[in-house]
Amino acid sequence: MAGLQVEVDGSIMEGGGQILRVSTALSCLLGLPLRVQKIRAGRSTPGLRPQHLSGLEMIRDLCDGQLERAEIGSTEITFTPEKIKGGIHTADTKTAGSVCLLMQVSMPCVLFAASSSELHLKGGTNAEMAPQIDYTLMVFKPIVEKFGFKFNCDIKTRGYYPKGGGEVIVRVSPVKQLNPINLTDRGYVTKIYGRAFVAGVLPFKVAKDMAAAAVRCIRKEIRDLYVNIQPVQEPKDQAFGNGNGIIIIAETSTGCLFAGSSLGKRGVNADKVGIEAAEMLLANLRHGGTVDEYLQDQLIVFMALANGVSRIKTGPVTLHTQTAIHFAEQIAKAKFIVKKSEDEEDASKDTYIIECQGIGMTNPNL
């Protein structure tokens, strides 16, 4: 086996934690020993951060594998996977590191486990530079379930930057194979809804102001739809620390989902947070794709594993997506084609079709 070790350069393309997530998940699934070098080499704090380490340790535990040289600051690891097993697994970033990114790395693996899994993921639920848990539940979940599986995600406690302290419990049953998806018909927007939240010491007025500013911003561009953004005060027993943020979802006639979201920071007024989320949503609606820019790269691994040809229509292909495609081709040997959309209505837009011939991964345990 040792001769077949996959060598990954962690500094190319996106050059961040994503390379680690994609390559270790695929290594685990395919039973391929892996060496990743130059991990986050170009970042201001190179090497493994706590959230990357907890993700790696969880994947190791999921399959009773071996992980070498994995410590904070390390720029090289080797990972030797064994058989993926179900059961209860815990990963704790001990920081505001994102629970959603922990879910991203573990979800494909547990689908091919021997039995059902329960993942206890601890860290930040609404963190910068990562999907918010609301995004994972409201956008990622309904779309990724089109691959032919279901999962359940229970938010025990929300946790914010810089303390973290949140926890979610994810339950997943294994599948025999994943179905390909075809997301190429966007339809038209039928509803826009969302939630603006405050937690801890922040006044409820902040939630109302974020929501109102977001609605005003969307109204300028989309006049004929009711926009329903609920202001929410997170209950004290279900939120750790202080935070505020907003997520807004647009749903289309064909079941496509797009989001815009933003988190409050010290010294940034509530209106600005609301407007930032609204503008992000509107930008995602302008490009003509069927997925927003954050879902794009999260679907690549599932497309690579599916049994058949998947197609998604997107706006400009992000660096994260190009990176995921590169490693899905290198490690899983899936075949991707990215081409400009040829539909008339997309002619004036930056719209692409990402097509993948999946490898038809089969769960050896079922």
Tell me which residues are annotated as active site. Answer: 320
β-bridge partners, 249: 193, 259
CA–CA distance, 192 with 141 (Å, rounded to integer): 18
* Number of helices and strands in the chain (H, E): 9, 17
The answer to whether 71 and 47 have CB atoms below 8 angstroms apart is no
CA–CA distance, 78 with 71 (Å, rounded to integer): 12
Binding residue ranges = 104, 294-298
- Tell how far CA 270 is from the center of its chain: 26
Instruction: Encode burial over 16-32: b for 16+ CB neighbours within 10 A, e otherwise.
Output: bbbbbbbbbbbbbbbbb
CA–CA distance, 24 with 109 (Å, rounded to integer): 10
Q: Tell me the CA distances in angstroms from 146 to 150, 180, 306, one per residue in order.
A: 9, 8, 11
- Tell how far CA 34 is from the center of its chain: 23
Binding residue ranges for ATP = 104, 294-298
